Amino acid sequence: MPITRRVLLAAAPFAVIPGPLPAQTPETFPSRPLRLLVPFAPGGPLDINGRPLAEKMGETLGQTVVFENRPGANGIVATQQVATARPDGHTLLYTTGSFVGNIVFSPVPLPYDPLRDLAPVTLVSKGNGMMLVGRASLPATNMAELVALARSKPGGLTCAMTGIGNITHLGAEQFKEYTGAELLTLVMQGTGPAITAMLGDTVDLSFTTLPPAEPHLRAGRLRAFGYTGTQRSNGFPDVPTMKENGFPEWELIGMGGLWTTGGTPPERVLALQRAVATAVQSPLMQRLLREAEAEAAPVSPEEFAAYLQKELAMQRGIAERIGFKRN
């Protein structure tokens, strides 16, 4: 079979494949303020880290980077804005593994081509795990009691997730897969609304990073049941890992990454990557990532593309195991 460009794209969906660049008048980059879009509501981990990331990137680039929350349709609204922007590197997307999750789990065709219309810039950070938390009024104080409670309820407990295919969705699917209990999943527009729902006793559970939940956990308004990292949380060392809870294969690590519009000149993509690499080494970003039990992980665009291929394979594996089929 002849090897065509279509075959190459299918074989390496996140490969950084150069294409024809639009004719542009040479100009300094960046030549105006940049926009950094986060596809979740305020109060979540990317909101907490994204605002100082934008500020520090702006210091390196010599232009203001305007931070914008653009929740909607599991990140598709914000992603489409970046996908359809002028391919000049001034419009950025800062998001999670939901970017990959939408390729696998979106129930409808995406209004953009994630392989052609978005250019991977860099991985920003990798997390050490997610905490399964629940409302304090749940009649369960540990993972064993929680699983028994979930199994006893027709349809299972309710679990807030911040989108289809992102890490909170994967956590819910792993809960069902490993415990044999059902969950009724409810999509929220971010971690902030999910926590508010648990505090209001309208949702039972959610998977979250630590910063948004920590004050409520320490005040007893939420309860922690298990941590999906390879080792216990530094902030909550009394909470066992899922492996310690009796689920040896249960591990889930989050990520945050940066994209820009497809067709952006490679030298501009590299300038953005370098700005991120500088930003995440700042004392402020290091402290925020440490508090989130995450670590800076800037890589080249090519390395980020390879990382995304592994994420895509992992999520497709989960979709196959749970029998997910696109409508």
Q: Which CATH number fits domain 131-227: 3.40.190.10, 2.20.25.240, 3.90.1150.10, 3.50.50.60?
A: 3.40.190.10
Q: Which pLDDT value is given to residue 18?
A: 47
Q: Decide: residue 63, CB within 10 A, 0-12 exposed, 13-18 middle, 19+ buried.
A: middle
Q: Please state the rounded mean pLDDT for residues 71-77.
A: 85
Q: Where in the chain is the domain with CATH 3.40.190.150?
A: 33-127+253-322
Per-residue pLDDT tens for 75-98?
Answer: 899 999 999 999 999 999 999 888
pLDDT in tens, 253-265: 888 999 999 999 9
Give kind and range of the element (H or E) at residue 38: strand 34-38
Which band of pLDDT confidence, cut at 50, 70 and 90, is reported for residue 4? very low
Query: Would the pLDDT of 197 be above 90?
Result: yes
Write out the residue limits of the CATH 3.40.190.10 domain(s) in the chain. Answer: 131-227
Among 112-121, 166-175, 193-202, the minimum mean pLDDT is found in 166-175
- DSSP structural state of residue 235: S
CA 15 to chain centre: 20
Question: CB-side exposure of 65: number of CA atoms within 13 Å?
Answer: 28
Q: Which of 39, 27, 33 lies closest to 162 in space, CA to CA?
A: 39
Which pLDDT score is estimated for 324? 74
* 273 confidence band (pLDDT: 50, 70, 90): very high
Which residues have a Cβ under 8 Å from the Cβ of 21 and sit 6 or more positions away? 87, 263, 265
Task: Output the pLDDT for position 16.
Answer: 52
| Domain 33-127+253-322 of CATH type 2.40.50.140 | no
Output phi, psi for 220, to 5 deg.
Answer: 80, 10
What number is the average pLDDT over the span 281-304? 93
For residue 24, pLDDT over 60 is answered with: no
H helices of the chain, in order, are 5-11, 45-61, 76-83, 98-105, 143-152, 167-179, 191-199, 210-218, 266-279, 283-291, 301-322
Q: What is the pLDDT of residues 206-252, one digit of tens each?
A: 999 888 899 999 999 999 999 999 889 989 999 999 999 999 999 88
